[in-house]
Amino acid sequence: MADKLTVRDLKPDKHNPRKHSTRNLEMIRRSLSEVGAARSIVVDEEDNVLVGHGVIEAAAQAGIERVRVVEADGNEIIAVRRTGLTEEQKRKIVYYDNRTAELAEWDWAMVREDSESGLDLSHVFDAPQLEALFSLPTFPEVRPDDCVEEGKEENGEWIECPACGHKWKKETT
């Protein structure tokens, strides 16, 4: 693995359970543009992104391309010391960091898939949250022929995915 990479060298996790809305990514981009990079991301030995997908996605838009890799085994905290920040930037970075985390959403289908495959999420989500997750209806994979054009009304009933808004014809038995 190279000591220095570019954002393009990193491989996002296709099964990342967090989704980043346009607003979320724009706020991350704005933070990177106004106060620069400060938070670390986590990659594995093959440069697969484990933590920091939103940062990586917004970095290119903010003009940040370089990635510095710091080797770690998990037995020490890695601190990023930012220099040259004004007092206003120091205050802003706190708000940006916390607010961008709030604006990301869970991909509940991915969480459910991971949980059903045996991944223990009981220390991440409490029992009522997991129970609510498993009480949600499942939706078929999106097929372009099944999606409703926006504003188009059809005969019959439709099912709408609460996460993405896609609609499918309700199957009749």
Q: What pLDDT digit, counting tens, does each position of 42-77 carry?
A: 999 999 999 999 999 999 899 999 999 999 999 999
Q: What does each C-alpha distance from 167 to 12, 71, 139, 140, 146 come to in angstroms?
A: 28, 45, 9, 10, 7
Q: How much is the pLDDT for 1?
A: 46
Dihedral sign from CA coordinates of 30, 32, 35, 38? positive
Q: Say which DSSP state 54 is in.
A: H
Structure tokens at 124: 């991440």
Give residue 125's Cα distance to chain centre.
17
Q: How much is the pLDDT for 4?
A: 74
Q: Say which DSSP state 48 is in.
A: B
Q: Amino acid letter at 31?
A: S
DSSP per-residue codes, 9-43: G-B--TT-SEE--HHHHHHHHHHHHHH---S--EE
Q: How much is the pLDDT for 129?
A: 85
pTM over 0.85: no
Ordered by start, the domain boundaries in the chain are 4-103, 107-136, 140-173
Structure tokens at 75: 């037995």
45, 11 contact by CB (below 8 A): no
* Ranges of residues in the chain whose predicted pLDDT is under 50: 1-2, 143-153, 173
Q: How much is the pLDDT for 133?
A: 79
Torsion, Cα 34 40 45 51, to 10 degrees, reads -90
Scanning the structure block, which residue is given the tokens 């504003």?
Answer: 151
Q: How much is the pLDDT for 132?
A: 82
Alpha helix (H) ranges present in 81-161? 87-103, 108-116, 127-135
Q: Amino acid letter at 4?
A: K
